[in-house]
Amino acid sequence: MKRLRRKMRQKGVRGLLHGHRGRKPWNRATAELLEKVLRLAQQRYKGLNDTHLTEKLNEGEGIALSRPTVRRILRQAGIIAVRTRRPKRHYKRR
């Protein structure tokens, strides 16, 4: 609390804000990388779900991104995950 009061006295409300506010993250994916992931998802790895696509990008292309990051990239581009459903199974009556 003492530190916060001192910053408030010295810099006002701006002193209470985090020092890294407004800076770009050091590990942010570049625009070229995002385009490459989108191109691969639409061409070479078309039909894969998010988890499988993430694994293939890591193994085959050397692109190490987390699954939520890949998911966010695809959803922002309007690409929805492929979900296959099994046909309903018919059970005989006894």
User: Tokens representing 94?
Assistant: 């006894």
Nearest to 44 by CA among 9, 71, 52: 52
Q: Give me the residue label for tokens 């001192």.
A: 6
* Residues 6 or more apart in contact with residue 64 via CB below 8 angstroms: 57, 58
Specify the pTM: 0.67
pLDDT values of the chain reduced to their tens digit, one per residue, 94 residues: 888 888 888 888 888 888 888 888 888 888 898 999 999 999 998 888 999 999 999 999 899 999 999 999 999 999 887 777 889 999 988 8
DSSP H/E element including 51? helix 50-56
Please answer whether residues 77 and 38 qualify as being in contact, where contact means their C-beta atoms are separated by less than 8 angstroms: yes
Domain extent listing, the chain = 31-82
Nearest to 49 by CA among 57, 33, 88: 57
DSSP H/E element including 54? helix 50-56
